[in-house]
Structure 1
Amino acid sequence: MKTITRLLAVACLALSFAACKKEEAPKAEVAAPLSAPTTEDATAWRAYVNDVATRNMDGINNSPFVYFLPGENSEGFGGLYERLLEKLEQDLGRGILEGNMLVFASPAQEKTTEMVETAFKTVPPGSMKGVKVIFIGTPILGERVRTAVEPAGVKYIFVEAK
């Protein structure tokens, strides 16, 4: 009987010490950034763009405006380009408010750059303060986009597609 009592006393002490330990919060593991696709696979590109957008959401209040143009070998590419340019021009014409983000990406980076340059020509200087613009592409095209968007007052972020 004494042995059982002692075992119960030891068990109670062990439980009380275990209960006193602070629980450590589980550490969230941050996944490694995705690499840019080397093909025109639209699904892979969308996953990559989503990853880049998610990593740059600090200070953003709304879902980002993502302007994704598929590869130039896609069926109906010319029409897709025209419709996306029209949508971008309409969005910019209505005005993009502070706390929003625009993301531009495509395997057809040259055409995306042309689209940004064309659409931002009509944006009044300083009218987009507090808006983030992310361009995913090559450094040379990134500088062209920077030149086109910075007069609007945006916070420009270049992400090299690699």
Structure 2
Amino acid sequence: MKMSTRLILVACLSLPFLAACQKEDTTAVVEEAPVAKPATNDENDWAAYLTDVVRRNVGDASSIYLYTLPAADSTDYEGEYERQLDKARTDVMRGGVQGTLLAYGSPDSAKSADLAVSSFEEAQPGSMNGVRVLFIGDAADSERVKEAVEPSGAAYQFVEAK
């Protein structure tokens, strides 16, 4: 009798748990539409676009560095390019930390590719293992960035700006 009572008690206590396990999740996750590539060189629009692309491709990265350039016709463009290049080179020369994402993008894909390629010129082979490099730009610029990045050991990812 005690055994039957215990089995019935266990069965009664287990039913709510089993019912909860079998319940379907009816909440739908609504994903926001991607931000479209800006048709102008407006810095705010480009910042929103690049941030959205990085957010969608962040994966398991624990730290993110985004290297961007303004439009080529902006005030102090060359100065901004040099500052970003100096920062990117310093970050790359330091070596990579597992889970880091380095992202490059701007209204001028070729110049952004130049920035990425130049920042990896002095990288030591294998010094960026565990790091991922995301290049956001034109397909025509992707291969040269990939060739510059791969000797460092970083994983390369390309997202076409569109």
- For normalisation by structure 1, the TM-score amounts to 0.81
The total of aligned residue pairs comes to 142
SS of structure 2 residue aligned to 1:157: strand
Which has the greater radius of gyration?
1
Q: Deviations over 1:88-114 (max 9, x none)?
A: 111112222110101100012221111
The residue type paired with residue 38 of structure 1 is: A
CA shift, 1:138, in A, is 0.7
SS of structure 2 residue aligned to 1:66: strand
Structure-to-structure mapping, 1:4-153, within 5 angstroms:
24=25, 26-62=27-63, 64-153=64-153
Tell me which residue corresponds to 1:17: none
| Segment drifting more, 21-30 vs 111-120 | 21-30
SS of structure 1 residue aligned to 2:158: strand
Alpha-carbon distance between aligned partners in 1 of 2:50 and 2:140, rounded to the nearest angstrom: 19
8 Å Cα contact 2:67/2:103 also seen in 1: yes
Please provide the CA RMSD for this pair.
1.7
CA shift, 1:26, in A, is 2.6
SS of structure 2 residue aligned to 1:96: coil
CA shift, 1:54, in A, is 0.9
Identity of aligned residues (%): 40
Q: Does 1:158 align with 2:158?
A: yes
CA shift, 1:23, in A, is 8.4
CA shift, 1:24, in A, is 4.3
